[in-house]
Every structure is written in C-alpha cells, then in structure tokens.
Amino acid sequence: MNSNSKRKTILLAASTVVKNNGVEKLTLEAVAKEAGVSKGGLLHHFPNKEALIIGMVEELTNDFFNNVQDRAMSEMVEKGKWSRAITEAIDEDLKEGKEIGTALTAALFTNPDILSKFQNQYATWQQNIENDGIDPVRSTIVRLAADGLWYSEMFGLGVLDDELRTKVIHELINMTK
C-alpha cells in the first residue's frame, strides 16, 4: 500500500470511529486499530489527534469543494448553476456516505478554527448563489434546504427514506430553473 492510500485508509478509519462511537472516542489508538495499522504507522502520517482531524476535514472538504466546482463549471444552463451544483453535491454525498459530516463534527467539537476554510468557501458560494441568475431569496432557500437535508442525515434528525429524499432533491433542483 503506498503512502497516499495508507493516509486515505487512516482518514476513513478516523471517520468510521467518529461515526460509530462519537467524537469523544476518537483516539489515535482507536483509529490505528480501525485502520489496521500500528500506532507508529499512524503517527508517521498524523503526529497527533489535531493533525488527524485537520487531515479529515481537508481531505473530505476538498473533495466536496471540487465536486461543487466541477458541477458548476460543467453546467450547460448558466441560470441557477451554483444552486444546482451545491444541491447535487450534497445529494451525492448523502447517497455515497462520504462521511464529510463526521469530519466537520470532529472539528467542531475539538477545534472550531479548523472549519474556517469550509466557512470561507461557503461564504463564496453564497455570493455565487445570490448572483446565480435566479431570485436570490429562492436560490438561498434552495441552499439552506439542501444544507438542512444534509445536516438532518448527518445527525440522524428526521432522516428521510430514499424515495422522499430523491423527490425533495428533485424539487430543489426544479426551484433553480
């Protein structure tokens, strides 16, 4: 296993520990065990718990940022493209269980400053959404609804079944046209 894939395995293991056991159980020992690596092997990539959490947040949020950016840039219809890109990326994250929520939760409970890059990116997206060629109130409602769906699934609050979630996403996308 190369160094990059071992790093990814460790980050996924950290996410699994948080998801299954909660942030308070996120220890280097628990992650090493979940990843099937020695603690020394884990420390080679992440010298401490904060570095591990920063790695989780950066890896998962960068994937999400790139997904949104790629969707917006490849969108054929200019009007509403940012609103659709964010909604579709959230939908994909929910369907594929990319675990971004566990990284954000871990950061929030251990060092909220780690979230500044995510907050800054969202501020930029909000500006894009407000200038998306559709009513800025409507585009903001779409983003907030998509975020709310995401957070409800992240925290297990009124989770929708797959059929209803698909219909909700479809309706949000329709609101951007």
What does pTM read for this prediction? 0.84
Confidence of residue 1 (pLDDT cuts 50, 70, 90): low
Confidence of residue 153 (pLDDT cuts 50, 70, 90): confident
Domain 1-47 has CATH 1.10.10.60: yes
Return d(Cα 80, Cα 3) in angstroms, integer.
40
Q: What is the pLDDT of residues 51-96, one digit of tens each?
A: 999 998 888 888 899 999 999 999 999 999 999 999 999 999 888 8
* Count of CB atoms situated within 10 Å of the CB of 4: 9
Please give the share of the chain, as a percent, with pLDDT higher than 90.
Answer: 62
What are the sequence ranges of the domains in the chain? 1-47, 58-174
1-47 and 58-174: same fold?
Answer: no
Which value, in Å, is the radius of gyration of the alpha carbons in the chain?
17
In CATH, the architecture of 58-174 is: Orthogonal Bundle (1.10)
Mean pLDDT of 128-153: 95
> Which of 54, 18, 14 has the alpha carbon at shortest distance from 154?
18
Alpha helices in the chain (DSSP H): 3-21, 28-35, 39-45, 49-74, 81-96, 100-110, 116-130, 136-154, 162-174
Q: Is the pLDDT of residue 98 over 70?
A: no
Residues 93, 94, 100: CA angle, nearest 5 degrees:
55
pLDDT the model gives residue 135: 97
Q: Is the pLDDT of residue 156 over 70?
A: yes
> Which DSSP letter does residue 112 get?
G
Confidence of residue 177 (pLDDT cuts 50, 70, 90): very high
Please give the share of the chain, as a percent, with pLDDT higher than 70.
Answer: 98
Q: How far is residue 128 from each of residues 9, 81, 139, 169, measured CA to CA in Å?
A: 34, 9, 10, 20
